[in-house]
């Protein structure tokens, strides 16, 4: 549906939504945002103990609480109404236009299009699920993911890295990130965290409060293979160590 509208239209809708969100935080003392955060924390606790009965109960109860809290946000209600209005406009426009069937001729884009290959990513975006690389050998693909809850574990000892630079980019809300790097690989780590701890190649930070860390090995700019790690997390620990 949204592909039929200009990007500027969608951008203005997002800008208005963000403005309403900020307005609600300032003038309603957080509105339902604070209850949503607390509910999300208890939901995460229930998910971590989901194998137990009380964990299942806590997870589902606070999941429903989070959903209702989010739906009560003024910005979310505006986005829902905007989506309905866009759907109606798109439906009316499509019903008025006559469907025309025209022969498809090879255009300039098709003549000069480069041959490309679709590659399946190593990880998909997951909200509540833990993710880890395979225990057996696997083909390396750069990692670029975001998630909400759960742990992420990447073991580079079971793959062959490219001779130039391998990229690992992870944006996360709650959970731990573990990355194991072979000794012969040069490493660059750029990590930012609001709450948590960091253990990066023997350098320990027990308390991170809204901080950003940057480490790289001595020969990172001179030799390969090398891996560039960029991570950001709201609450959780990161561990990068040799294996």
* CA dihedral of residues 15, 147, 49, 133 (deg, nearest 10): 180
**Which of the four pLDDT bands, split at 50, 70 and 90, describes residue 12?**
confident
Task: Summarize the confidence of residues 123-150 as an average pLDDT.
Answer: 81
Q: What is the pLDDT of residue 196?
A: 86
Q: What is the pLDDT of residues 149-201, one digit of tens each?
A: 888 999 999 898 888 899 999 998 888 899 999 999 999 999 999 888 899 99
Instruction: Provide the greatest CA pair distance for the chain.
Output: 66
Q: Are 82 and 20 in contact (CB under 8 A)?
A: no
What the block records as the tokens of 149 is: 């809850």
Quick one: residue 142, left, alpha or beta (phi over 0 = left, psi -120 to 50 = alpha)? beta
Q: What is the pLDDT of residues 108-128, one digit of tens each?
A: 555 556 677 777 777 777 766
What's 141's DSSP letter? -
For the chain, the first-to-last Cα distance in angstroms comes to 48
Q: Which helix or strand (DSSP H or E) is residue 87 part of? A: helix 74-96
pTM beyond 0.85: the answer is: no
Q: What is the pLDDT of residue 149?
A: 80
């Amino acid at each position: 549906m949204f592909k039929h509208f200009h990007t500027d239209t969608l951008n203005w809708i997002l800008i208005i939504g963000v403005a309403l969100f900020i307005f609600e935080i300032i003038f309603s003392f957080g509105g339902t945002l604070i209850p949503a955060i607390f509910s999300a924390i208890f939901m995460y606790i229930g998910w971590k103990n989901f194998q137990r009965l009380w964990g299942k109960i806590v997870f589902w109860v606070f999941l429903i609480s989070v959903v209702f809290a989010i739906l009560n946000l003024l910005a979310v209600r505006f986005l829902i109404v905007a989506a309905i209005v866009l759907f109606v406009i798109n439906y009316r426009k499509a019903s008025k236009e006559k469907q025309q069937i025209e022969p498809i001729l090879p255009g300039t884009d098709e003549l000069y299009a480069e041959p490309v290959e679709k590659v399946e990513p190593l990880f998909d975006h997951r909200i509540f699920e833990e993710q880890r690389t395979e225990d057996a050998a696997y083909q390396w693909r750069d990692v670029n993911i975001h998630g909400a809850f759960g742990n992420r574990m990447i073991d580079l000892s079971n793959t062959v890295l490219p001779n130039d630079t391998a990229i690992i980019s992870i944006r996360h809300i709650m959970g731990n990130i573990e990355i194991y790097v072979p000794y012969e690989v040069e490493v660059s780590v750029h990590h930012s965290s609001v709450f948590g701890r960091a253990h990066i190649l023997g350098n320990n930070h027990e308390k991170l409060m809204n901080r950003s860390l940057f480490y790289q090995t001595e020969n990172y700019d001179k030799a390969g293979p090398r891996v560039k790690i960029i991570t950001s997390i709201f609450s959780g620990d990161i561990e990068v160590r040799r294996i």
